[in-house]
Amino acid sequence: IYLYTIYLYTIYLYTIYLYTIYLYTIYLYTIYLYTIYLYTIYLYTIYLYTIYLYTIYLYTIYLYTIYLYTIYLYTIYLYTIYLYTIYLYTIYLYTIYLYTIYLYTIYLYTIYLYTIYLYTIYLYTIYLYTIYLYTIYLYTIYLYTIYLYTIYLYTIYLYTIYLYTIYLYTIYLYTIYLYTIYLYTIYLYTIYLYTIYLYTIYLYTIYLYTIYLYTIYLYTIYLYTIYLYTIYLY
């Protein structure tokens, strides 16, 4: 137990020693970082102050430039007013000149329009009279056209009746023609059948007559044979 206690106490002291070294190291590192932080702030302060002084310098130059530019613009403004006054006076005189020309032009244009008005009335009167004569001319042509068209339609009507009559008469003649052909065909066919009938009777008569003659011939031969045989026996 004594030895173990010494062992544990030794470990404890060694741990305290190491922890003391660790804390001292952190302390020194903290002092190092804080020194760097303070030096950085010092440098940044110098940088900002330099920028501040440079900004004041530039702003001074800027204000002086604005001052000079304002003087320049004011000079231009006054010169512009001077020129604009001359311009307006020139426009005023030119306007009076143009208005005078305008009034004189209106006077001449009024005379011109009145002349055109009178000439237009004259032309319109001629136009209306021409339309009147042309309307009479067209109406005459219209009535004559209706007259000719009526004659044309009546002619077509009569010609249609004529053609329809010819058509009906043609159908009538064609019907008679077909009926005649039909009757003639029946007549020829009847003659044909009657001829066949007579020819059949003729052939049949010849056939019977031939049989008759052949029978007589055979019978004659038979009788003649009997006759000869009788003579022979006798």
Residue 131 pLDDT exceeds 90: yes
Overall pTM > 0.75: no
- pLDDT tens-digit readout, 6-27: 999 999 999 999 999 999 999 9
Residue 234 pLDDT exceeds 90: no
The confidence score (pLDDT) of residue 232 equals 86
Residue 1 pLDDT level (bands cut at 50, 70, 90): confident
Residue 129 pLDDT level (bands cut at 50, 70, 90): very high
Mean pLDDT score, 49-67: 95
- Residue 37 has which token pair? 């932080």
The confidence score (pLDDT) of residue 212 equals 95
